[in-house]
Amino acid sequence: MVMGTLSMADPGLADPGSGAPLPGAMRRPWEAAALRASDDALTDLYAAHWVGLVRLGALLLRDGSRAEEVVQDAFVAAYPRLARLREEGTALAYLRRSVVNGCRSGFRRHGVEERYLTFVRGSADAPGRKSGDSAETTALRRRDDAALLEAVHRLPQRQREVVVLRYYSDLSERQIADALDISPGSVKAHAHRALTTLRSTLGDAS
Amino acid sequence: MTNRPGPDGFEQLEAQLGGALSRAADAVRPDDRLPHIRAAVSPTRRRPGSWWAPIAAAAAVAAIVVGAWIGLRPGAAPPLIPGIASTTAPVSPAPNTAPSTGRTGSATSAPTATVPVALPVYYLAPPGSSGGRLGLVRVFVPGQLPADATVAQKADAALAAAMTVPADNPNRFVAAWPAEVTAHYVALPAPEVGVSLSGPGVKGLTEQAQRLAVQALVWTVTAAVQQATAPVAVTVASGGPIFETVGTNVFKRPAAQQVFEEVAPIWVDSPYAGQAFAGGKAVVVTGLACVQEANVTWELRQGGSVVRQGHTMASSGCPQQGSWSVDLGTLAGGRYEFRATEVSMKDGSVDFANVVPFTVG
């Protein structure tokens, strides 16, 4: 190592986030083109789906911050293939499946369920409690919403996922089957069991 | 909301479900995380190979720290990293950096947009008892950098933070550098990177402390440039050795299987010291540990009293660093201190403690 010659501007150490050359021969022309395509796809898909996917995650986890982490991880993991997925028209389905899977493991790993139940019973930042409506009818509707949402989150995991994907994301049975990697028949069965349970639960509560 | 026919007899319930889920979803207002996603997929992290894996992990944690910070402190600016002049002012060009890129500003140029960052900075932590040992602790230092900050700017910011022991940190990190001594990143032909010190370190440290104080700079600068295994040439502009027993030389991080010789037993990645959590948000403490039997003992203190305590297991025991986390749930407002310790298997004394103060509400 020669300590006396300190280069002022070694292009090999240019800012990796700026699109400047990487050290040595690590960046090939085709790699640069692929990275640009991925960057473009990321920008477009983020703009189109970030909010919706976080909201989906928040409904599954009942934890908005954790949902952001899960969706961020999904984008990061999908990044190398985002351009191809967008071209194929399958990017949203891919990301949605990643988010559902991430929420499933996140739900187990971080004790979200416990926090969710605490939150549903009265936490100020519960989804559905931020809109600021004050009319009496709205208050009653919120109470009903809270009871219904709590019942949804007491459902078995798979039923809960089917309910959220069906009645929030408005997906078809085929799309839900794809997102959950189960058969359409199973989707139908889970949905029926979930609705039966919910009706029973809400009926018992009223 | 759905227009798909559901099972017979559930029409009213389905309508209620659609409405309730939609209203709950509409109330969720996600933060903008595109910059963090971009940072996580930056080109240096996409390349095949494994040399950057530890740095990638660190950056991922940093992204989470930043994300959590943004989420918890809406509308507030992160504190400044030492050496960064202002949240909007351009970063002063550091010696030996690359002005030809045009990214470094002057005192009269227009303000540069900044983004919140959390730079991994390494400090030298003292042992908790006579049986313990000195070790490096990683701290994510939050702050602001220009959105298009160069590697040199990031490295200089991290080195500036590393040279000054945070005054409000209760861990009594070893102050190894006189206040007037500065450190700057120097671009060298790959794979080496350089650190230029304006003067030597303080006198009177133990030999081990002198060596590890230099290694703290090595870990910090290699993290900043995302080249964990890069050799680091450390020079002293005023001449002479770095410490009494450590001359200028080229240093490296130890090999993966020897990392335990330099790192402190327990790192706390989140929260950072002084972090303010919004009320009603769950507090989850995360970190890495290289401790016996992977056992991390912890206490949550408030006003000097222990309000909660427990044990958790790291994902692996020493000599490997394993990840660990403690979910404290939602805490009442107030000032807290999280204390993670390694307890001696011999006599139950505390061999090492990592203390992180934070507030809720």
Interface test with A, best of B28, B96, B277 (most A CBs within 10 A): B28
Q: Which segment, A179-183, B213-217, B254-258, is predicted with the most confidence on average?
A: B213-217
Residue A199: partners with Cβ closer than 8 Å, 6 or more residues away = B10, B13
CB contact under 8 A, B327 and A199: no
Q: Has residue B101 got a pLDDT over 60?
A: no
pTM above 0.80, yes or no: no
CB contact under 8 A, A125 and B281: yes
Q: Is B161 helix (H, G, I), strand (E, B) or coil?
A: helix
| Beta strands per DSSP E along chain A | none
Q: What pLDDT does B80 receive?
A: 44
Distances (CA, A) of B223 to A36, A193, B55, B156, B238: 25, 52, 6, 12, 26
Mean pLDDT of A76-91: 85
Nearest neighbour of B30 by CB, restricted to A35, A54, A75: A54
Q: Has residue A128 got a pLDDT over 60?
A: no
Q: Which segment, A62-76, A122-136, B69-83, B120-134, is predicted with the most confidence on average?
A: A62-76
Mean pLDDT of A129-158: 69
Distances (CA, A) of B36 to B121, B277, B323: 19, 20, 22
Q: Which segment, A124-128, A140-144, B69-73, is predicted with the most confidence on average?
A: A140-144
CA distance B342 to chain A (A): 23
Taking a C-beta distance cutoff of 8 angstroms, is the pair B177, B215 a contact? no
The three-point CA angle B158-B159-B162 to 5° equals 90
**What integer best gives the mean pLDDT of chain B?**
78
Buried b / exposed e over B189-201, threshold 16 CB at 10 Å, is ebebbbbbbbbbb
Give B272's pLDDT tier (boundaries 50, 70, 90).
Answer: confident
Residue B13: partners with Cβ closer than 8 Å, 6 or more residues away = A195, A198, A199, A202
CA distance A141 to chain B (A): 9
CA distance B8 to chain A (A): 9
Buried b / exposed e over A94-114, threshold 16 CB at 10 Å, is bbbbbbbebbbebbeebebbe
CB contact under 8 A, A149 and B46: no
Lowest mean pLDDT among A93-102, B250-259, B332-341: B250-259
Q: Has residue B59 got a pLDDT over 50?
A: no
Q: Which residues pair with B286 in a beta bridge?
A: B270, B325
Q: Which segment, A33-42, A83-92, B152-161, is predicted with the most confidence on average?
A: B152-161
CA distance B130 to chain A (A): 36
ipTM of the prediction: 0.72
Give A116's pLDDT tier (boundaries 50, 70, 90).
Answer: very low
Q: Has residue A14 got a pLDDT over 70?
A: no
Interface test with A, best of B10, B23, B55 (most A CBs within 10 A): B23
CA distance A105 to chain B (A): 15
What is the count of residue pairs from A and B with beta carbons less than 8 Å apart? 212
Q: What pLDDT does B90 receive?
A: 30
Q: What pLDDT does A26 receive?
A: 36
Nearest neighbour of A7 by CB, restricted to B7, B26, B188: B188
Q: Has residue A1 got a pLDDT over 80?
A: no
Nearest neighbour of B64 by CB, restricted to A1, A69, A144: A69
Mean pLDDT of A167-190: 90
CB contact under 8 A, B25 and A55: yes
